[in-house]
Chain A
């Protein structure tokens, strides 16, 4: 009951004209960056951070969340019509979606993606509404050692559990954590890793690192690979945007199953929207009555993964809002968005800034309605964005990126860091190092350090405090399993295979 009352109070915040406008701007910008390859929600939020600095928190956070949701919708359009995913979470959609578009069924593919996103987004936001206050109530009892242990779990799962290499994931994380150390130590006022450069005393700007990692690194990687990949072809939208009865019949179960994959995986500190989309695709392929259609444009292969990536976006907000733990690069940016208003996501936020939190949650329902309108009847408008020639698109992205960096901190040092870290990000992509752990490590690292030092200060430097709290001990064991588990499964899996031979 309390939740319903709070949600209605939030709805009153969300329907204020200026907040509706921010939601609309957010979902429009989000859809655009979702459609455009080379620019994603994490970097967009990073670029908007310095601009929204002076705005009121509720409005700009509603806008940021709209960008996150919108990008999940927009990404599918590019996947289906261009066969180049607009977002990493839409990679799987391209498999079946583009085949459908080539076979003249682009309309139904876009429709099942958009409606599936709406269904999943709405169900997952409802789950968020129910779960968040409940989890916040539990988390209020967490001590610093428990928070530190929780962050440890997030670090391990984001970097090591699901990537292609544990070593490379952990190395990315270590780079991010090291970048987070730069500047004045909050607890003692001593300068760390600034090398005598005054510009570094406040630490690295989030915008700077995000621009280097995503905009510059990505542009370089795409430009370098251009000759190898050749030109892309945009499929015209053929076929009615209306789904036939058969399409509906084949879509609704994948939508629900996709939601069931996306929400929990997004909510656990397991990171990212990519994993649930892969799981959803594999499941639909297995359950389908006509598995031979997979690879030739099976609608289930679009419906499931698209529902999964939207549900995971909502799921990601659960640990972010209730615990202050980001489990994806975009969530880390949203956390930075909260922090710029001195709001610390976590259980206390539901008490101290109830209007902001509930206004944000309520606006997510509204954003979903806006998005289905923007992405179904108006899809033709977004497709035009894909006609921008690549040289100009990326040129424009880098100009915007520069504006963002300069607006955040007008310093040549900061711009030079963009160049250096941008080259590093290109190298990371080339050598298959994941980029998201850098961002998560840089933003979450200083918070983890503060919690650890606080815990150790209370215990007078006795490290066993981490194992005395049952919550912290359990979480540390979980982190160890997440780190070492895959190694064991690999061994076991190999054994099983060997037995079969």
Chain B
């Protein structure tokens, strides 16, 4: 894996990449611990349900270790200077939707998601976005419930449709 050409531009230790590596190792250990409670119910012990989890945990720990090594040598590709505000808007929109969907119903919850996503993409007309979100969510709801016969969580607004 050593590429002789890239050693010339020696970069600094890449903290976030090392964090990813440690995360992978942690997940690997978690899976290993979970696999210890699994047993083959019959026949050979090697081929039970625990085999693949053990394999995956070992692989994740190895890949995590190699990732740490890459981070230590600063070998990861350079990242763009992204703006994390929009990511928070979208993640927040999803969180609000999850919190509301069972109580307020599908339409208001996804309308909030729509408006938050639009905000994440730079829209500043939140009232219009919210209204449009209601329209889009309402259309979706009608199509899925009335035409396709699927059930979506309903609340106050949905009873009028």
A96: min CB distance to chain B, Å = 25
List residues of B (101-158) whose CB comes within 8 Å of A's CBs: 101-102, 106, 110, 113-115, 117-123, 129, 132-133, 136-137, 140, 144, 148, 150-153
List residues of A (220-272) whose CB comes within 8 Å of B's CBs: 220, 222-228
Q: Which of B40, B70, B97, B123 meets A188, CB within 8 Å?
A: B40
Cβ-based interface call for A279 (8 A): no
Q: In the complex, are the beta carbons of B87 and A224 less than 8 A apart?
A: yes
Q: What A residues does B136 contact at CB under 8 A?
A: 395-396, 399
Q: In the complex, are the beta carbons of A188 and B117 less than 8 A apart?
A: no
Q: In the complex, are the beta carbons of B77 and A403 less than 8 A apart?
A: no
Q: In the complex, are the beta carbons of B49 and A461 less than 8 A apart?
A: no
Cβ-based interface call for B44 (8 A): yes
B28: min CB distance to chain A, Å = 9
* A225 CA / B97 CA spacing, docked (Å): 24
List residues of B (41-63) whose CB comes within 8 Å of A's CBs: 41, 43-44, 46-49, 51-53, 56, 59-60, 63
Interface size on A, residues (CB 8 A): 68
Cβ-based interface call for A10 (8 A): no
Q: In the complex, are the beta carbons of B70 and A167 less than 8 A apart?
A: yes
Q: Which partner residue on chain A sits nearest B63 by CB separation? A: A171
* A457 CA / B4 CA spacing, docked (Å): 46
Q: In the complex, are the beta carbons of A178 and B63 less than 8 A apart?
A: no
Q: In the complex, are the beta carbons of A399 and B89 less than 8 A apart?
A: no
* A192 CA / B32 CA spacing, docked (Å): 11
Q: In the complex, are the beta carbons of B77 and A164 less than 8 A apart?
A: yes
Q: Which of B52, B94, B153 meets A181, CB within 8 Å?
A: B52
Q: What A residues does B118 contact at CB under 8 A?
A: 391-392, 394-395
Q: Which partner residue on chain A sits nearest B116 by CB separation? A: A395
Q: What B residues does A226 contact at CB under 8 A?
A: 83, 86, 121-122
Q: In the complex, are the beta carbons of A449 and B86 less than 8 A apart?
A: no
* A441 CA / B30 CA spacing, docked (Å): 20
Cβ-based interface call for A18 (8 A): no
A409: min CB distance to chain B, Å = 12
* A177 CA / B83 CA spacing, docked (Å): 31
Q: In the complex, are the beta carbons of A193 and B34 less than 8 A apart?
A: yes
Q: Which of B40, B48, B82, B151 meets A430, CB within 8 Å?
A: B82
Q: Which partner residue on chain A sits nearest B119 by CB separation? A: A391
Q: What A residues does B122 contact at CB under 8 A?
A: 226, 390-391
Q: Which of B16, B31, B47 meets A453, CB within 8 Å?
A: B47
Q: What B residues does A185 contact at CB under 8 A?
A: 38, 49
Q: What A residues does B89 contact at CB under 8 A?
A: 223
A205: min CB distance to chain B, Å = 14
Q: Which partner residue on chain B sits nearest A403 by CB separation? A: B140
- A178-B56 CB under 8 A given contacts A193-B31, A396-B136, A431-B17: yes
Q: What A residues does B91 contact at CB under 8 A?
A: 220, 419, 422-423
Q: In the complex, are the beta carbons of B67 and A390 less than 8 A apart?
A: no
Q: In the complex, are the beta carbons of B117 and A406 less than 8 A apart?
A: no
Q: Which of B35, B56, B67 meets A177, CB within 8 Å?
A: B56
Cβ-based interface call for B159 (8 A): no
Cβ-based interface call for A151 (8 A): no
Q: In the complex, are the beta carbons of A219 and B90 less than 8 A apart?
A: yes
Q: What A residues does B56 contact at CB under 8 A?
A: 174, 177-178, 181
What are 26 A-B interface contacts by the 8 Å CB criterion? A164-B77, A181-B56, A190-B49, A192-B53, A219-B90, A219-B120, A225-B82, A390-B122, A391-B118, A391-B120, A391-B122, A398-B90, A398-B110, A398-B117, A399-B113, A399-B133, A399-B140, A402-B97, A403-B152, A412-B101, A419-B94, A419-B95, A431-B76, A431-B79, A432-B77, A456-B44
- The residues of A with any CB-CB pair to B shorter than 8 Å are 50-51, 164-167, 170-171, 174, 177-178, 181, 185, 187-190, 192-193, 195, 216, 219-220, 222-228, 389-392, 394-396, 398-400, 402-403, 406-407, 410, 412, 415-416, 418-419, 422-423, 426-427, 430-432, 445, 449, 452-453, 456-457, 460-461, 487, 490, 494
- Chain A to chain B: the 3 pairs with minimum beta-carbon distance, closest first: A223-B86, A461-B44, A391-B118
